[in-house]
Chains A and B, each alone.
Chain A
């Protein structure tokens, strides 16, 4: 049982380049999330999805777009990367709406130079 899988694990981008981070879960979870973690900071929510075809903004959505075309996948896009987006990105999923713990992937470390 793979759980939540993130690809790639590492990536280096130049300012202005674009990329897409892929998250896949095999637990049939309805909810999916993208968080970023910066040094000395907690995890901050970028965007989330409450079901296939839906997305919503989190705490720090600027500079990112997301899509949830299939229930098991949640994509995070950076259209024009900036050094401020250097971070570790975590995808997570959860089953129920109420009182449901998140299951996290192992993260993608992104560096923007």
Chain B
């Protein structure tokens, strides 16, 4: 039973446009959400996070939106750049991460075309 779902395996976007990556979750106990970016042959790197007490968090070109009632979060990248091409993982944890582990989605491969 997948608790964190990324239903789009891939996404292709033109450089300069907006990229929107989506993530759904089923566990209502999740209260901390993160996005990681992963390049081939490297480990995932932390991108941005959001606590359940907020509905939006912004960091430069990256914004994460959280809709708790829909159990849905999204990552917006504006403007998209070719260097953003990577696999993006959504992750969630319960109890503000106090259990010391995250549940990851399967990832969405973003391709940004020049």
Residues of A at under 8 Å CB distance from B? 4, 31, 33, 35, 40-45, 48, 50, 56, 58-59, 90, 92, 94, 97-107
| A103: nearest chain-B partner, CB-CB | B46
Interface size class of B (residues with CB under 8 A): 20 to 34
Which residues in A have their C-beta under 8 angstroms from that of B89?
42-43
Cα A56 to Cα B36 with chains together (Å): 24
Compute how far the CA of A12 lies from the CA of B16 in the bound complex, rounded to whole angstroms. 43
Contacts of A106 in B (CB 8 A): 41-43
B44 near A98 with CB under 8 A, answer no
Residue pair A99, B32 in contact (C-beta under 8 Å): yes
B-chain residues with CB within 8 Å of residue A104 when the two chains form the complex: 36, 43-45
CB distance from B13 to the nearest CB of A (A): 22
In the complex the two chains form, what is the Cα distance from A92 to B102 in whole Å? 11
Q: Is the CB of A98 within 8 A of B98?
A: yes
Contact assessment for B104 and A50 in the assembled complex, using a CB-CB cutoff below 8 Å = no
Q: Flag whether B12 is at the interface (Cβ < 8 A).
A: no
- Check B45–A58 contact: CB distance below 8 A: no
B98 touches A97 (CB 8 A): yes
| A-B CB contacts (within 8 Å), total count | 67
Task: Please state if A101 and B98 are interface contacts (CB–CB under 8 Å).
Answer: no
Residue pair B42, A101 in contact (C-beta under 8 Å): no
Q: List 5 A-B contacts (CB under 8 A).
A: A42-B103, A42-B105, A59-B101, A98-B97, A101-B34
Chain B residues closer than 8 Å to A101, beta-carbon distance = 34, 46, 49
Complex CA gap A59/B102 in Å reads 10
B6, B49, B101: the one within 8 Å of A99 (CB): B49
Measured CA separation A99–B46 after assembly (Å)? 12
Residue-wise interface mask of B (87-114) relative to A, using a CB-CB cutoff of 8 A (1 in contact, 0 not):
0010100001110111111110000000
Give A4 to B4 CA distance when docked, in angstroms: 26
